[in-house]
Structure 1
Amino acid sequence: MSAHHDTRQGPPFPAVLIVIGVALISINLRPGATSIGPLLEELSTALSLGPTVAGLLTAMPGFTFAAAGAVAVSLAHRVGLSKGITIGVVALVLTLLARVLTDSSMVFIGLTTIGLAGMGLGNVLVPAWIKAHSRDGGVRLMTIYSMGLTIGGAMGALVTAPLASIVPGQWRGALAVWGLVALLALLPWLVISAKDRVHRRTDSVVNGRMAHSPTAIALTALFGMQSMNAYVQFGWLPQIYRDAGLSATSAGALTAIVTGLGILGGLLMPTIIDRGRHLSAWMVSFGVLAAGGYLGLLVAPATLPWLWAGLLGISGFAFPTAIALITARSRDPRVTAQLSGFVQPVGYLLAGFGPLAVGVLHAATGGWTLVLVLLMLSGLGITLAGLRVAKPVFVDDEMAARIT
């Protein structure tokens, strides 16, 4: 079947429910991960986590997102996009609430893994769901989705440490808050999955292999490189600032600047991608700013901490750019699902090694110098991969060309 064929049908629910559903789930796909970093010291003490296990905890989002994303498209083919997303939200709510009740490090890690898997399903399936339920190619909903991801990530980093000082249970109560917030997202998705009769199952994926698409490969590299940076920042940036003499609350606030600037990126980049044909200058700036931010952390972390956070935050525009390109570089919703299921699992697998390697290198060297030098070099990878996906090429066309 031609990649140009549009399989979208009229949604069986009102537009306001679509907007609410996308907004709420996007806000909840990050706090379960970003809330860990500001309280890593407290968690390590309470659960007797060693440096290696703490490093594993910060690496888990990438690895778990990769594993869950790898099965997401198959799950959606069996139960439908809406029900697949709802299953992920249910897992998220239950595990975020249950994990704060244990004193066992293994139980905490196991429940966290299940919750992250729920987020991983949403990561892959929501862009495809948006493509299937949009009349404008997904620009408006992807803008909401990208902004929601960064708002949720920023809030997880910003308010978790202050919450721990005022809510019952301290760190337990602070982390439990995010399970309650996720409960809000479950309500509209229960309605959507119950009403989504027309889209009960997804069509089979379009013939062809994503590995035959240079654009898909480059987008995977861009997504993986930026995700690695993002999850290193979520997991370790607060500790880098704390080791430089800043308080836990200040470190959390600076990390929130990094993730919060992504809100602006999420607002701007889908429209810039939709209206502009060339993104090369953006891709170069993403790499340069990343290198500059890490250099600042290396030479003067406590002198101008907000500046380094700002540079890393603007460089992080690469993340909403990569997310938006999943829908912008595909036409058919089935190709979008296949592309999302290719880019995100592989990209998050690459991302998962970053926080783990940082933990190992930090423990081995006792400092941050080698870590920050290597992270500076990642800016080059972001630019090189970004320059390839900057070209206005559709994955559908590349796959069709290989088939014919």
Structure 2
Amino acid sequence: MPHIRRNATSHAALMVMAGLVLLALNLRPAATAVGPVLGEIRADLGLNATTAGVLTALPALCFAAFGAMAPIFSNRVGPHRTIGMALVAMVAGQSGRLLVDAPVPFLLLSVITLGGMAVANVLLPSLVRRHFPSRIGFITALYSTALNVGTMFAGLFTAPLAMWLGGWRQSMWIWVGMTVISCVPWLFLVSADRDHEPIARHAAWGFRHIVHTRLGWLMALFFGAQSTQAYTAFGWLSSIYVDAGASPSFGGLMLGILTGLSIPFGFLVPMYVSRSERPQRALWLFGVCGITSYTGLLFAPLTLPWLWAVLLSIGMSGFPYFLALLGRRANSSDGVAVLSAFSQSVGYLIAAIGPFLFGALRGLTGDFQVPIIVTMVLFLPLVGFGLAASRPRLIEDELIAGSND
């Protein structure tokens, strides 16, 4: 939409910004709302342990599979129409799974929901580059914060809402309603596309090109390393405190500190990355804080429990760093789209292994010492891949060089 990107009125710019923020706000609740009411869902639908395990693994798998398709859709029908279709899938999938009473339809509709979320998730950074090329850091900070707010709200309020409203289905209709609201700005954007923007029919670059680039793999490995840390902490931090002698409610409180602090960090980190000439210095802070946190959890988990949660939240700030770095490693919205798609698709596959590995090590050894040590050591590749990906270069240069070979 060139007329919005280059000669935007304040109204149009605000419409685009609202669309990005509302979209980001709704890219996590449909996934994170399942965990707090998983017991009720299992009892209501008759899910066995295996099916429940598949359900909890679906987000990472769908984000990997469908995220890879996002640039293809975008180049066929345009980015705004692609987001519009993703939102339709999110609303239809979420609504449908609240109306079924059998495991298989529930899983299939969950795949549709997560597929829409995955496509929109990948295209968000490219839309920021497309509409706000001179304000990438600030807009990235806004939508990164919205992502974290949506994640935290769904985790905190789904179970209480289920209790107050009379069931898990009723509570999840709240998140459907929020997704419907987020469609409003995109109706305007898609309508404006119809008159002003031709549809690209051929993609300049795809996976077959970026798979041969060094930067593509560095970004993918960095994203996978930081997502592994995040998935592991979200899944196991509370249990670590409980195993050390704390109550389940205290463990939940520490997890709340971890997720709550991701909101301000989600805003501050992209702003720092966009304004600093050497943003990679933040990676050393993430590594030191993460390793210090797990050291404390290993040797004295209940001595300064809140400090370990705070430090771990800082250590997990690689996600907003990655989002901001996408805008610095490409000079076009198409470049950002293909880099985002490849990095996140590969990265989510890597990240899906983390919680299972942690749990397997816990089962084999009988305590948390070995899994904590392994998770601590995994901060080293996170910092290493992040430092390498942060060196000044553009994905377009590597793609062009590869096409000339």
Give the alignment partner of residue 70 of structure 2, picking from 59, 72, 81: 72
Worse-superposed segment, 316-325 or 302-311: 302-311
Distance 2:152 2:47 in 1: 25
Give structure 2 stretches of 5+ with no counterpart.
none
Question: How far 1:289 sits from its partner (Å)?
Answer: 2.2
Q: Deviations over 1:109-152 (max 9, x none)?
A: 33222211111011111211221112415233212111111111
Q: Paired residue for 1:388?
A: 388
Q: Secondary structure at the match of 2:164?
A: coil
- 2:312 alignment partner, SS class: helix
Structure 2 letter corresponding to 1:378: L
* 1:193 corresponds to: 190
1:23-42 matches, within 5 Å, as 23-42=21-40
Quote the residue 1:343 is aligned against. Answer: 343
Match of 1:121 in 2: 119
For 2:132, what is the secondary structure of its paired residue? coil
User: Are 1:37 and 1:236, in contact at CA under 8 Å, matched by a contact in 2?
Assistant: no
Deviation at 1:308, TM superposition (A): 2.6
Shift of 1:364: 5.6
Aligned match of 2:170: 173
Matched, 1:211 2:208: no
Distance 2:217 2:66 in 1: 20
Q: Aligned equivalents of 1:264 and 1:131: distance in 2?
A: 22
Q: In structure 1, what residue type is equivalent to 2:345? A: P
- Within a 5 Å distance, the mapping from 1:3-402 to structure 2 comes to 10=7, 14-47=12-45, 49=47, 51-136=49-134, 138-169=136-167, 171-197=168-194, 198-199=196-197, 201-202=199-200, 204-206=202-204, 209-241=209-241, 251-301=251-301, 304-362=304-362, 367-402=367-402
The question of whether the paired residues in 1 share the 8 Å contact of 2:19 and 2:185 is answered with: yes
CA 1:71 to 1:204, structure 2 compared with 1: closer, same or farther past 3 Å? same
CA distance in 2, matches of 1:83, 1:234: 33
Determine the C-alpha separation between the residues in 1 that align with 2:52 and 2:233. 14
How many angstroms apart in 1 are the aligned matches of 2:159 and 2:265?
25
Q: Secondary structure at the match of 2:211?
A: helix
Note the alpha carbon deviations across 1:158-189, whole angstroms, 9 max, x for none: 222333332221x3333332222222112222
Secondary structure at the aligned position of 1:166 is classed as helix
CA distance, structure 2, for counterparts of residue 370 and residue 39 of structure 1: 30
CA RMSD for the aligned pairs?
Answer: 2.9
Percent sequence identity over aligned pairs:
37
Q: Is the 8 A contact 1:92 1:116 kept in 2?
A: yes
In the TM superposition, what is the alpha-carbon distance from 1:69 to its structure 2 partner?
0.6
Alignment partners' CA distance in 2, 1:366 and 1:201 = 57
Q: Which residue type is aligned with residue 112 of structure 2?
A: I
> What residue is the counterpart of 1:3 in the other structure?
none
Letter in 2 for 1:330: A
* Aligned CA distance change for structure 1 residues 245 and 23 (closer, same or farther; 3 Å): farther
Q: Matches of 1:105 and 1:239 in 2, distance apart?
A: 28
**SS of corresponding position for 1:270:** helix
Q: How big is each residue's C-alpha offset from its partner over 1:365-394, in whole Å with a ceiling of 9 and x where there is no partner?
A: 665444333222221121111111222222
The question of whether the paired residues in 1 share the 8 Å contact of 2:93 and 2:112 is answered with yes
The CA distance in 1 between the partners of 2:343 and 2:282, in whole Å, is: 20
Q: 2: CA distance between counterparts of 1:203 and 1:381?
A: 39
Deviates most, 154-163 or 127-136: 154-163
Instruction: Describe the shift of the 1:78–1:41 C-alpha distance in structure 2 as closer, same or farther (beyond 3 A).
Output: same
Deviation, 1:319, is: 0.3
Aligned partners of 1:85 and 1:126 also within 8 Å? no
Distance across 2 between alignment mates of 1:357 and 1:199:
47
Give the CA deviation at 1:250: 5.0
Higher relative contact order (CA 8 A, sep 6+): 1
Match of 1:4 in 2: none
Letter in 2 for 1:179: V
TM-score, normalised via structure 1 length: 0.87
